[in-house]
Amino acid sequence: MRVVFAGTPEFSVLCLEACRASGVEVVAVYTQPDRPAGRGRKLTPSPVKQAALAANIPVEQPESLKTVEARATLEAYRPDLMVVVAYGLILSRKVLAIPRLGCWNVHASLLPRWRGAAPIQRAILAGDSESGVDLMQMEAGLDTGPVLLERRTPITREDTGGSLHDRLSLLGADVLAEGLRRTLAGETLQVTPQSDDGVMYAHKLEKAEARLDFSRSALALERQVHAFDPWPVAEGDIAGENVRIWVAHALDQPHHTASGSVIAAQRDGIDVACGEGVLRITALQRAGGKRITAADYLNARPELRSNR
């Protein structure tokens, strides 16, 4: 079976490896064009491109798949199946019709909840108790196609965008490997249409969303801190200084203090009053500095220290 793989970020790499290990022939990899990255803004290949080049797989990086030329290039690979994992381009009906078996998508949510670009972070922000990965038969709508296979995982209060990302990446490779194995064995996977109920859209993350508003509940801010680790990283004011906040936990603790005020500050954390409850900050980062513990921060700002 000839497979074209389309993906871009680190999340997609394990799925590419699962394709290669499954026994199919990965005839080409499609990925986003190289983008500027780092302080030097040097053009950098995507993680998927790096993995493809290391495996000697031809790489295509069109800006769009809407042109006749782009579709002709894809057709020339004579794909039986196209596997799409966080590619970053919308596929038209004409593109979806090129592979004999159509196109599969590995999506990091339990559809129809969290269709769209940032399902992992949106699930944490919303306080979802569960997430997962769906293997979906693609159609023209945004993540609207029927589900072929699914894997589920609980979301704990300790999960971050990074930890859930890594777990779902593993589950994505696992569910894709099963789909390929069963298809190679001659099985036709059962399709389950998505429900019209419970549809939620996971809009792309914006840096402005990372700003903490201490008039909100401590639990909502805890979720914000966790969801935006490792990007874009939550930030807020501690006694007049804007800092990035890496780790924080909500305390169900009543108070009669103005939101945003530091209630207590010791080695085990800096407690900030919220609209409801208290947010204990245990790891943070000053402007131009590196990530440090609350204890190290208080060494630099001893005036904040307090006794509980």
**DSSP H/E element including 1:** none
Cis ω for the linkage preceding 99 (within 30 of 0)? no
Contact predicate 295/267, CB 8 Å: yes
Which residues are paired to 234 by β-bridges? Answer: 245
pLDDT at 41: 85
What value does the mean pLDDT take over residues 107-121? 97
pLDDT at 40: 82
- Which tokens hold the place of 225? 């801190």
Average model confidence (pLDDT) for the chain? 96
Q: Is the pLDDT of residue 17 over 50?
A: yes
Cis ω for the linkage preceding 36 (within 30 of 0)? no
pLDDT at 194: 97
> What is the spatial distance between Cα 134 and Cα 106, in angstroms, rounded to a whole number?
6
CA dihedral 53, 58, 63, 67 (to 10 degrees): 180
Residues within the annotated binding site for (6S)-5,6,7,8-tetrahydrofolate?
A: 109-112
Q: Is the pLDDT of residue 308 over 90?
A: no
3-state secondary structure of 47: helix
What value does the mean pLDDT take over residues 287-298? 97
pLDDT at 39: 78
3-state secondary structure of 257: coil
pLDDT at 38: 80
> At 211, which amino acid appears?
R
Domains of the chain, first to last? 2-202 (3.40.50.170), 210-304 (3.10.25.10)
Q: Is the pLDDT of residue 172 over 60?
A: yes
Q: Is the pLDDT of residue 306 over 90?
A: no
Confidence of residue 195 (pLDDT cuts 50, 70, 90): very high
What value does the mean pLDDT take over residues 6-15? 98
pLDDT at 74: 98
Residues of the chain above pLDDT 90, percent: 96
What value does the mean pLDDT take over residues 204-218? 97
pLDDT tens figures, 27-85: 999 999 999 988 788 999 999 999 999 999 999 999 999 999 999 999 999 999 999 99
Question: Mind giving me the DSSP string for 207-247?
Answer: GGGGB--TTSBHHHHHHHHHHTTTTT-EEEEETTEEEEEEE
Place of tokens 């509980």: 308
Q: Is the pLDDT of residue 112 over 50?
A: yes
> At 295, which amino acid appears?
A
What value does the mean pLDDT take over residues 171-195? 97
Q: Is the pLDDT of residue 235 over 90?
A: yes
Residues within the annotated binding site?
A: 109-112
Confidence of residue 236 (pLDDT cuts 50, 70, 90): very high
